[in-house]
């Protein structure tokens, strides 16, 4: 009887260890991802999901623009738990933290969230994107019309372009790669196809985020 009990306890310990190992393999922890100001993040608080912008980042805090309801910025009590989801060039990251208060800059108020030392990685990109220090303007032509968009990150297979106009999935574009992307992409005309288009908050206005895939190699 004692031997059987010991075997059962041993199997339970091994099972728990296997579950822990698998969870770490499935959602491994990593150092802080390369977050930058004005990036869009999903914020989940008390069962509600909001889209907000990172205003600034410090070693100890993330400073976020608050979501707005009925024209007024929302505030949350200090200690309230929060979950952030960030889509960065390296993949999709999440973290859990808590609100530590709010701060003001002129007439604007911002939320303060404790900046954790580690995030969880839920998805890695096969072709890591290069996050640009500053957005680069780019001239694009689609459906016979030319517009100026802003590139936030690029990879060998495509880029993310913020455009003033929406484009349907599958639309082909001609992109005039500027010198500002030298080192990430070669200059000249590239052809790309829209894989996804979503209206999104960009700095202080709404634009259309185009996920583009190069079709010319």
- pLDDT tier, 120 (very low <50, low <70, confident <90, very high otherwise): confident
pLDDT at 89: 58
Distance CA 171, CA 190 (A): 14
38: left (phi > 0), else alpha (psi -120 to 50), else beta?
Answer: left
Q: Which domains does the chain have, with CATH numbers?
A: 31-124 (2.40.10.220), 130-214 (2.40.10.220)
Rounded percentage of the chain residues whose pLDDT exceeds 70:
73
* Long-range contacts from 43-50, C-beta under 8 angstroms, 24+ separation: 43/67, 43/82, 43/83, 43/84, 44/82, 44/83, 44/84, 44/85, 45/76, 45/80, 45/81, 45/82, 45/83, 46/80, 50/74
Average pLDDT over residues 1-28: 45
Q: 123-171, pLDDT tens digit by residue? A: 555 556 677 767 889 999 999 999 999 998 888 778 889 999 999 998 9
Q: Cα dihedral sign for 190, 216, 141, 137? A: negative
**Whether 213 contacts 158, CB under 8 Å:** yes
- pLDDT tier, 16 (very low <50, low <70, confident <90, very high otherwise): very low
**Whether 91 contacts 124, CB under 8 Å:** yes
- pLDDT tier, 18 (very low <50, low <70, confident <90, very high otherwise): very low
Evaluate if residue 6 carries a pLDDT over 70. Answer: no
pLDDT at 125: 55
Q: 81-98, pLDDT tens digit by residue? A: 999 888 765 667 888 899
Give pTM, 2 decimals: 0.48
**Whether 118 contacts 30, CB under 8 Å:** yes
- pLDDT tier, 52 (very low <50, low <70, confident <90, very high otherwise): confident
């Amino acid at each position: 009887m004692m031997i059987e009990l010991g075997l059962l306890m041993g199997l339970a310990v091994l099972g728990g260890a296997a579950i822990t190992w698998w969870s770490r393999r499935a959602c491994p922890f990593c150092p802080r991802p390369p977050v930058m100001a004005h990036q869009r993040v999903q914020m989940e608080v008390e069962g509600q999901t909001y889209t907000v912008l990172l205003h600034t980042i410090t070693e100890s805090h993330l400073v976020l623009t608050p979501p707005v309801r009925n024209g007024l910025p929302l505030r949350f009590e200090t200690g309230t738990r929060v979950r952030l989801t960030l889509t960065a060039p390296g993949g999709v990251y999440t973290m859990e933290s808590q609100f530590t208060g709010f701060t003001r800059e002129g007439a604007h108020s911002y939320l303060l969230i404790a900046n954790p030392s580690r995030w969880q990685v839920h998805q890695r990109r096969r072709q890591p994107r290069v996050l640009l220090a500053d957005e680069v303007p780019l001239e694009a032509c689609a459906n016979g019309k030319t517009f100026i968009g802003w590139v936030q990150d690029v990879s060998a297979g495509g880029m993310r372009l913020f455009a003033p106009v929406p484009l349907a999935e599958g639309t082909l574009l001609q992109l005039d790669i500027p010198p500002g992307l030298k080192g990430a992409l070669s200059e000249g005309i590239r052809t790309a196809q829209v894989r996804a288009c979503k209206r999104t908050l960009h700095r202080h206005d709404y634009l259309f985020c185009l996920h583009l895939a190069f079709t010319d190699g």
